[in-house]
Every structure is written in C-alpha cells, then in structure tokens.
Structure 1
C-alpha cells in the first residue's frame, strides 16, 4: 500500500464544532448537568431496596450512571486534546474546571448508590439480580456492593471526601509543585546549564557517559538536600491512607489496589514468583550491556545509554505504511482500524513548538472514535510511541458495542493492546533490520522495557510494601526510607545494578499519587499479560483475532482471572501462563548476547 501525505494534524471539528469556543460543547456540558440532576433525584427515590420489584429502579439508576460516564469521558477527552495542542488554552482550562465540578457531584451520588446496594438484604439482592434487565450489569453491581464503604455513615464519607480535597490530595499536589520548582545545575559540553528535574532526568539517555553521570549525582544531591521534606510528604500521604483504611475495615494496604485491578492476591504472588525465578537472564543482559559500554557491571546512570545509534530516519508516511502492512498479519480488523485512523484525522503527529510533550490516546465513546497525540520526529522510538497509542485506540474500538457501564477496564488490562501492538512492530523491525547494529539497537529497546517491568517496578513494589509495614508503627525517617529503597533495588535487580539511586522513593511520582497506592504492579501485569497473549497470537495467526477482540470487549466486566480463563482457557494463578510470555523475553536476551559477543 503506497500513499503519500497522510494527515499529520488531527481533526476535532466532527467531535465538537468550533473546538474550545464550541456551542455544541456548551450544550454537552448542560446535558451532563441534567443527567447528574436526574441521578440525584433517582437516588433519593431509591433510598433503600426493600423488595424484589424495585429492579426497575436499579436499572434506571444504572443506565443513567452509564450514560453519565460516557458523556464525562467524551468531555474530558475533548478538553485533554485542546490542552495538548495548546497548553495555554485558557478557555479549555476553564472548561476542565466546570467538568470537574460535575464529576465531583456524580462521584458523590455514585457512593450513595453503592452504599444502598451494600445495605440491601442478601435474599432480596439475590432475587433482584435474577431480573433479566439487570443481567448485563451483574458483575458491576456485585462489585459495587462488595466494595462499598459499608462501615462508614454518609456523614463520615462526606467528611473523608472533604479532608481528601483539603488535606490528603493537597500533599500530592504539593509534591508535584515542589519537584517542578527545583532546578539542577549540570555541566554539558563544558557549559553550566540550569535545568528542570525533568530535563535532568532526560539526560540519562545522553550519548556521553560523563553527562549521564553528572546528571545522576546532581539529582542525588538535590534529593539529599530536600529528603526531610519529601519524607514528611510521603509519611503524611501514607498515614492518611492507613487511617482511612482502618475506618473502612481494610486490613491490608494491598487489598484496595487488588480490588481496583480485579485481581486475586494469589495471581499477583504467582506473577512475581515467576519473575523472581527468571531474574538471571536479565542480569546477564545488564552485564553484557555494561561490557559493550566499557564497564564490568551496569551502573544505574548507564542503563538508558544508547548502545548503538539508529542512523535510520523514518518518514511519517513510511512509518504509516510499515505499521499497516504488518498489522494485517494479525487480522483484517486491526489493519482496517489503523488505516481508518491514519486516513481520517485521528492522529496529531506534527513536529511543532508549543505542543504538550506527553503522548496519549483519548477515547470518545459516544462517537466511537479515538484521538492520538504524538510528536513524530522520524525516530524508531517515535514509531513505537505511535504504535503504543494505536493499541490503546484499538482497545477503544473493540469496545464500541459495549454498554457504558461495562466499558471501564482496570489499569491491569489497560496496557494489553498497546504492548501487543508494540510487539508486532518490534518483531517486524527485527526482520527488516539489515545490519547487526540495527538489530542490537532494537533488542536493547525491547530489553530495557523488560528490565523496567521485571526489575525496576518490582523494586517499587517491594519498597512500597516494606514502607507501609513500617509506617503502621509510626513515621519512617528519611534515613530509613533510603535504606528500604536500597534493599528493595538490590533484591529486585538481584544485585546486578551498581550505584542505584537510593532516592528513587523521592523522584518516583507514583508513590505520591493519592488516588491509589501500589501504582506499580499493574504495569508489570499488563506487560507480561500482553506478551502471553502475543505468544498465543503467533501460534494461531489471523484466526486468533476474534478471540482477541472478545477478550478486549469483556475486559470491563470480568475479573482478570475469569477473563483469561474464558477467552484463552488459561489459569493465571498458575506459573505456566506467565512463563509463556517470559520465555519470549528470555529469547530476546539470548539473541542480544549472541549479537554482542564480539
């Protein structure tokens, strides 16, 4: 398929004409407010479920909630697009505030609904769920009922909500503001430069080792200077979370994130067990990469170093053709979808100033579309980023026919389609690579992802687990936080990383996200889960696509264990499933070591 001049700028007018000044979008916000008002009235009439004839009331509430979620998603995605293409768009920022207020009212009503369901008598609840009209929502309704804050009164829920806004979430905001305010002084090519933390962190992939090393230690110095302040922030966040959990009757800090990810603890332990068993190959990779860089062991500041240079500059149209040609090997639906996205202005890829630096995929469930935001400069990494976001968009596409309430899938599944898409292009690129250097470059990119998921994220999980255990007994000092971090990194990397940052607990923002603790293991789960699916797809070829689509469609209405059993006939509480994906990564290590022998 030869074609020139695929559009590089997305088209938003068919979503809401006039973009930020759109009267259509104003009408959409008004419609959202009306929907929330209707929900408030329905919740008042619901109050409590006394008999089995009230199924119609439950259905009415459920359908309104599903409709609100669709409209909120449509609104938030549109505002995200406006602010990405122009971060200084004040009108879009005002719109975001309006939608956030509506969202807050909605979440308050949703909490009330969950409480009503949790207070319903068991016999009435069982008969209610026999109602045919509610069958499609059975999983979500049971989940709401089980996860409701039944131990707390409405007054307590409101109080906690207020405290979260003015106290708890403020600590998270303060962390972000503090990190943004810091500057790092580093010498680059003989010239002193004053950089932001983000710019300094980006130097970890600089081609010169001296620059990487200076950036690493300059950052460590900044963190050491502020460690007491960061220790206070992380202790306050954890302390608040533990007190709320205690009020809610939650014994373990891992309980809530497991519920949100619809995962058994047994599954999580099995996954980490397999990863721990296969650490040696990735230690071998780190050692070999260190050798190619002229060292005997991998130093932390050299992990992101480019091992070879990819001299190939890729034109956008060439990238589109390459992606489409290789996606068709895994199914006509996937190939047709990406062709439609490239041809119909779904992708913002232009390299221009004043754009947001952060790539994303925004779903528009009401119109059944997505928009992808990247900045394409012609590198292989740009191609991977584009493909990653196309994978997210394909997940949205697969769920077009799914009802609003069943569209929301957990973070553990969120990276499945994106990682799957990356694997297609990694393999295709390896086949196309004409030189050994190109193959080494591609394998290094793949293996960096494996190490991040199997070692780095494991260290984050171990640190958070150990930190919360000690925080239950009182405030944890900055000195002890450093020790816990160092121990966790050594355990997770199996001793194969030298001079690690003991201040990883400071500069890893995931520890300070107040919406959820343990914002780490879902990434590893999603990565290894996608690899397992990809291994299956390679076995079955195009005939696997329908199974894949069905799996994605069900991802919002099942536990991860039931999802995999239904569509792949696999038990993810057993090590065998995880080993299939792991074997693909180990094979990459073997190939890398073979290619770098000389």
Structure 2
C-alpha cells in the first residue's frame, strides 16, 4: 500500500557505555549525507518544499485520478514518489539521531516534531491510494499496457489494490492518519522511553537492559541467574504499564481491523508482506512439528554438556564449556566478514566496503543508544546505515555479518527507486541470513580442531533455534494474545499465562521455568512496534537454508542470480524471485528442507558424543 509517511521499524533500548572498551577503533555514523544539521538551509528547504508539494499534489489530483491518461498517471506517481523520498530522508535523519541517544530530550523532541509536521503535511495525500483503488480494473490495466514506464510500478499498484476490500471512507482514512501520532506512535514511544530508563541491580552493579541481557550468556552461572532475577524483578514492578501498552495497542488494532473487515489480526501483516496466509501457516506448522527434533533435542544435548539434569531459563544461552571467550577486536571482526563476503563474490565485498570507511556503521556501546542492531535503508538516493552494539563476542561478529547483508541488499535494491526498493519482510532477511551463513561456513572451514568445530556448530544451531523456533513461538504468542484480547482486556497474569503456554512447548521438557520468567514477554519490542513481524525471521532463515543448499550444489551462475534477486527489491513476488533457483516457498515441503539442515547439524553434534 502507498504510505504517505515512511517510518523505520527498528528495535530500541539503551546500553551501558562502560562495556564498550577494548574492541579497537569503533566507527560512528556520519549523518551529514542526509543533513548536516537540524536547522540548516537544506532541511529547512526540504520541509518547506514538502509542505507546499503535498498541498499542490492534492490540489492537482484529488478527485481526478480516474480521468488521467497513462502519461498523466505516470507523472502523478513520480511526484508521489518524490514526496516519499523527501519525507523519508527527513524522518531517517531524525530517527537515526534519536537512536544514537534515546535519552537526549532534544533528539526526542526533534524526531517527534518532524513526525508531527510530516503527518500534518501528508494528510492531504490520503486520497491517493483510496482513489487508485476505485479505478476500474480494465481501465487501470489499459493504462499500464499503454506505457512501459508506468507498467514498472505495477507491483506497488497491485500491493495497494490488495487492500481495496478493506478500504474505509476518505474521511475515516484521513482521521486514522491524523490520530496515529497520538495513537500507536505515542504508545510505541512510551514503551521505548520506559525501556531506555529502566535500571537493573545485579550484584553491586546498576545496569540497563542490554547490559543485563548480555549477562544471560555469561560463563558464570551465578551471574546468569542473578541477571535473570534482576530482569524479572524490574519487569514485575512495571508489568502493569507493559500490560496497559499491550492491551491498548492490541485493542486499537482490533478496532481498525474490524472496521476494515480484515479477517484475522495477522491479515494486515500478510498483505503488507505480499505473502499468502497459507504459506505462513505451512511455515508455522512445519516448525512446530519440528520442535522435538530441533530445540527439544538440542537443549537436552546442551544440558548434558553443562552437567545438568534440568536446565533453568538462565542456562538457555549459556556458553558451552571450553568455549573461546576471547574478545574479537573490531578489525578482526571486519576481516572475518569481509573475507567471507569476498570469497563468495568480490562484488559483495566491494559493496560492503564503504560501510566501514564512510561513516555508515555506528558500532560502539554508548549511554542512551538504542540496543540491538539494525540496518536502515534511509532513502534510495543516499545509502543505508547500520547500527550495532559491539561487545567483542563471536555472536557480535555474526551480527555484523547479518546487518551488513541487509546493507548490501538495500544498496542493490536502491536502483528500483523509492516505491519499489522496499523488500517485503518475508524476503528482507534473505541477504542478512545468507551473509551470516557465509561467515559461519568460513569460520567452520578454518576451525583448527573438532573441539572448535563443535563450539561453532553449537553456536550456529543456537542462533538458528533463536531465529526459527523462538520466533515462531513468539508468533504463536501474538496470535493467542490478539485472539484473547478480542474477548476483553487482559490482566498481566493472563498475558503471562499465554507467554508460558508457548515456552514449554517450544523449548522442551528439559527446562524448568522458575518464578519470574512469565514476565519476559514485556521487553520484546517487535510485539509493540511491528505486530506479527517475527515470522519473517523464520521465513528468512528457512529460505536461506534452502538457498544455501542450491549454492553448495555449485551452479556457475548462482552469484549472478543471487545479485539479480537482491536487486529486484520489492518489484517481484517471492515465487518469481525464487523460481530461478528451483525453489517454491508455497510448497509445504520447502520448509522441511531448511529445517532438515538444522537437524543435520544437531546430528553431527550428537555424533561427536559417541
């Protein structure tokens, strides 16, 4: 659907700056490629142009779309695309500045002010998708057939018209657009700022969220347990607020979905992803059926390695005995990833290189900085920016490989232009997971002995379980939560119960769930920012596992087909993109291929025990 105000979807919170020492010279963002400052001539001119052009666009086209000829429709869409580019540039700049320090009130105010103004400017644009959807199919098809340049926009037009049955009146659509600033956007911000302000007492240390979560993979079991108790205590103290946010957003979504006539809470996400509900259901069912041979089997093996009969939740991410905890310097991490990318294709390494030397990566852990990692494409006439919170662990190297894969994908897709470059979430994880797999395989090939190979394999299996099993469990949690919310407001205890109902099923019988873990749904930002987003991770992992199997078969033109797929951005459906590789995600057996790869790695780990 055409969106009048782009907004990046990212994962936020704060990290503790004292953990950032000793990893080498970490790069920082240079945002001047977007704007040199917040009040200079360039951004001031762009804001003024945006206000004028939004009003002029509405004046020129509202009520007239159905009367345009092919050339007129092309000009209309191109003007609309330019509006998207300028508003996207402004909001990318405001958002990235904010994520560098979410506790800086000036940055928060600037982002909020920009969002509010652009929402006001773009309200007159709401008519565009509504009128486009009212054009008769035959008339629109005739326009597309008459002009090749216009026909290039067919994918985005089809995506918009997929929402046609769920479209409301012009007045209602404008109302929903206007009130979003004090609706979901405001609740999202409350969640972000609350999370950024939380502190956790672990021993004698006062930490914030990311530093505390980091302790869940600490070699010392007492530290992991202490961090878990600290997290559960603070979540419990704030659980009423998190339940209120969750209840409100779920109800707001239910109201809008009901007015639109969407058949399920998940339907909007599927439409946005341009993926059929039955494909997602086939993925979900395949993963749930595979729980016993994946997570249940692996965690039972891990319990044996740790010398435990039962595992506590704080043991799930424990490092393995004899795991190498040597700090990986930033330059070494860069070399590992770039060597893996270059071995696949010099072109991939060439695209990735500017991220390191042109200020496109912000890697350090700093006070107030958003947690986790992301790659944000900004707009197609600039370049992506990658955010990390680099702590020198091998997993951080994998995160660099992952986010850099996103960046490469976004650079390649930029050639499609502002409206067609954005990849559906189901395919957005393809290059990132593939980049991780390339790096992992490179490290595995260079493992000095079987013990090192075991550690690498186990780490990769854990990552894949987190990407596939955990994310499908999260998806089931959301499905159950939204279904239950339709019957009335949920108490914190009811949400806790829904959370626990998917945890035992997905993690397996080796786990014992102590008091406090029932609140751990509260800190997961995807539930707040992007309902039902999480299945995209499992989709991407399964797709890449199948894709990597094709690559290992050694086709001479694989790299060319791979870059062509990434360059397509959002201009093609997943069926069309995967066809050159002989793959079809709508085939239920497709998902079994990817899951079998994970299972085979667990087979190898079990064989090492014999």
| Alignment match of 1:388 (pick from 402, 423, 428) | 402
The question of 1:335 aligning with 2:335 is answered no
Cross-structure match for 1:20: 37
Cross-structure match for 2:137: 122
Query: Does the residue aligned with 2:386 lie in a helix, a strand or coil?
Result: strand
Contact 2:94 2:114 in 1 (8 A): no
Structure 2 distance, partners of 1:71, 1:302, is 47
Contact 1:457 1:524 in 2 (8 A): yes
The question of 1:459 aligning with 2:469 is answered no
Deviating more after overlay: 202-211 vs 355-364 = 355-364
Structure 1 distance, partners of 2:224, 2:350, is 43
Query: Structure 1 unaligned runs (5+)?
Result: 1-5
Deviation at 1:494, TM superposition (A): 4.5
| Alignment match of 1:397 (pick from 390, 397, 411) | 411
Cross-structure match for 1:325: 339
Cross-structure match for 1:299: 312
| Alignment match of 1:136 (pick from 136, 149, 152) | 152
Q: Structure 2 vs 1, CA of residues 44 and 55 (structure 1 numbering), >3 Å: closer, same or farther? A: farther
Contact 2:54 2:124 in 1 (8 A): yes
More relative contact order in 1 or in 2 (CA 8 Å, sep 6+)?
Answer: 2
| Alignment match of 2:448 (pick from 423, 426, 434) | 434
Cross-structure match for 1:47: 62
Contact 1:555 1:563 in 2 (8 A): no
Query: Structure 2 unaligned runs (5+)?
Result: 1-23
| Alignment match of 1:113 (pick from 110, 128, 131) | 128
Deviation at 1:100, TM superposition (A): 2.2
What TM-score do the two structures reach when normalised by structure 2? 0.86
Deviation at 1:268, TM superposition (A): 0.5
Cross-structure match for 2:264: 252
Deviation at 1:542, TM superposition (A): 5.6
Cross-structure match for 2:303: 290
How many residues of Structure 1 are paired with residues of Structure 2 in the alignment? Answer: 583
Cross-structure match for 1:583: 596
Structure 2 distance, partners of 1:364, 1:65, is 17
The question of 1:480 aligning with 2:494 is answered yes
| Alignment match of 1:413 (pick from 427, 445, 454) | 427
Cross-structure match for 2:6: none
The question of 1:538 aligning with 2:568 is answered no
Cross-structure match for 2:531: 517
Deviation at 1:94, TM superposition (A): 5.9
Q: Structure 2 vs 1, CA of residues 382 and 453 (structure 1 numbering), >3 Å: closer, same or farther? A: closer
Contact 2:119 2:177 in 1 (8 A): no
Structure 1 distance, partners of 2:361, 2:210, is 26
Contact 2:66 2:135 in 1 (8 A): no
Q: What's the CA shift string for 1:551-575, capped at 9, x where partnerless?
A: 112231233334323x333221112
Structure 2 distance, partners of 1:140, 1:546, is 25
The question of 1:154 aligning with 2:170 is answered yes
Cross-structure match for 2:522: 506
Cross-structure match for 1:243: 255
Q: Structure 2 vs 1, CA of residues 22 and 103 (structure 1 numbering), >3 Å: closer, same or farther? A: closer
Cross-structure match for 2:243: 231
Structure 2 distance, partners of 1:499, 1:470, is 23
Structure 2 distance, partners of 1:182, 1:232, is 17
Deviation at 1:329, TM superposition (A): 2.7
The question of 1:559 aligning with 2:573 is answered yes
Deviation at 1:584, TM superposition (A): 2.2
Deviating more after overlay: 98-107 vs 131-140 = 98-107
Deviating more after overlay: 306-315 vs 269-278 = 306-315
Contact 2:428 2:540 in 1 (8 A): yes
The question of 1:570 aligning with 2:583 is answered yes
Deviation at 1:72, TM superposition (A): 3.6
Deviation at 1:66, TM superposition (A): 1.8
- Cα RMSD for the two superposed structures: 3.2
Deviation at 1:7, TM superposition (A): 8.1
Structure 2 distance, partners of 1:591, 1:344, is 42
Contact 2:104 2:368 in 1 (8 A): no
Q: What's the CA shift string for 1:292-335, capped at 9, x where partnerless?
A: 11212332111111114315444444443333333233223113
